[in-house]
Structure 1
């Protein structure tokens, strides 16, 4: 049995869970709750960076981060399932990188509030992170990604990024991005695991 170290609210952990569902591998993985702020958590020996998600293989070796994990899972499922071959591969990896960048910036904004006292928070730095999100969303709104009957890694990553903005940023992105809202609705309808992995608060 593989072990996925993650937490329910992690957009990167959610990406791995959706990949598992799409690849039909969910029953081969145990999801183990993880506290990245706890020095005693075994995560820090499994992944020197102390980050989630981390996948523990049956022989005890580990894989991280989410991009490496989903590549491994696609390989485990026979290859070419959520990460296509040829030119399409790079289009999907590019979309995944853009979506992951949205998550990175959104997470940094959350951490600024959660871990830094109000008197030393840096408004300009927070605005810089928001600029990354705004530019990425504008590019995606102008040309929402088309996806085939089955979701691939780029679409999965984007759905998780938008879901994280809903969870931690009150869905403020929605008002200015109606085409992306419609895209996410269509994605959710095609992939029941998206709603099943949604954290309510």
Structure 2
């Protein structure tokens, strides 16, 4: 059985969990709880990933894989899935959308860490504001593209974007992003209702 260190609050872990659900592999993974933190290192995770970050997977054969991009592609290959288009423009579009979703998560995480992980005297509001500007730029690009999106989690780029939007709901509810991006809001309402998304929503 595969083993995966995870955290229920991580949008990157949620990407892996959604892929595992869609690909029918969730029951083939032992989900190992962890205490991932940007400052307080969890050495249990480091046994799989020297960076001590989740998600971190050990395969059936003992190979350790990280991060979410690598793990998702491994699961897709293992199950002969179609979440990653094989060739052509469709592949590059999917991978770029994954980068957009991951970049949105990155920026949101950095903004959150500025106030949740740093001592008050070291916090920098301009840094957090700059990260949130990246969030709004990513949302604007999603709004521009969203009419082309499938309503199913059948593509790694859309899964990444869906998990990013779910993270904003979880950690940045006060942004009220739906007010400014109505097309994205309508798409996400349908996308997030899929069983694989509903089963993996973040919780404390």
> Do the two structures share a fold, i.e. TM-score over 0.5?
yes
Match of 2:66 among 59, 64, 67: 64
- Per-residue Cα deviation, 1:141-174 (whole angstroms, up to 9, x for no partner): 1221422755210111111000000000016212
Q: Secondary structure at the match of 1:5?
A: strand
SS in structure 2 of the partner of residue 52 of structure 1: coil
Find the counterpart in structure 2 of residue 15 from structure 1.
Answer: 15
Q: What is the alpha-carbon distance in structure 2 between the residues aligned to residue 69 and residue 40 of structure 1?
A: 20
Q: Alignment partner for residue 140 of structure 1, among 135, 142, 156?
A: 142
**In 2 relative to 1, CA 114–194 (structure 1 residues): closer, same or farther, beyond 3 Å?**
same
3-state SS in 2 of match to 1:99: helix
What do the CA deviations read for 1:10-61 (whole angstroms, capped 9, x no partner)? 0000000000011111111111111124545311121111111011112322
Is the 1:165–1:171 Cα contact (8 Å) retained in structure 2?
A: no
Q: Which residue is 2:195 aligned to?
A: 192
The runs of 5 or more residues in structure 2 that have no matched partner are none
Structure-1 separation of matches of 2:202 and 2:153? 23
Match of 2:178 in 1: 174
TM-superposition CA deviations, 1:81-118 (whole Å, max 9, x none): 10012221111100000000000011111111111112
Is the Cα–Cα contact under 8 Å of residues 9 and 203 in structure 2 kept in the other structure?
no
> SS where residue 169 of structure 2 aligns?
helix
Does 137-146 or 13-22 show the bigger shift? 137-146
Alpha-carbon distance in 2 for matches of 1:140, 1:106:
15
SS in 2 for 1:3: strand
Distance 2:173 2:163 in 1: 15
After the TM superposition, which residues 50-89 of structure 1 pair with which residues of structure 2 at under 5 Å, given as runs? Answer: 50-79=52-81, 81-86=82-87, 87-89=89-91
Q: RMSD value over aligned CA atoms?
A: 1.6
TM-score by length of 2: 0.92
Query: Contact 1:47–1:54 (CA<8 Å) still a contact in 2?
Result: yes
| Matching residue of 2:159 | 156
Q: Secondary structure of 2:47's partner?
A: helix
Task: Give the TM-score of the pair, scaled to structure 1.
Answer: 0.93
Does structure 2 conserve the Cα–Cα contact (< 8 Å) formed by 1:34 and 1:41? no
For the residue of structure 2 that corresponds to 1:46, the secondary structure is: coil
C-alpha spacing 1:149/1:103, structure 2 compared with 1 (3 Å) = closer
Counterpart CA distance in 1 for 2:47 and 2:79 is 28
Counterpart CA distance in 2 for 1:125 and 1:18 is 31
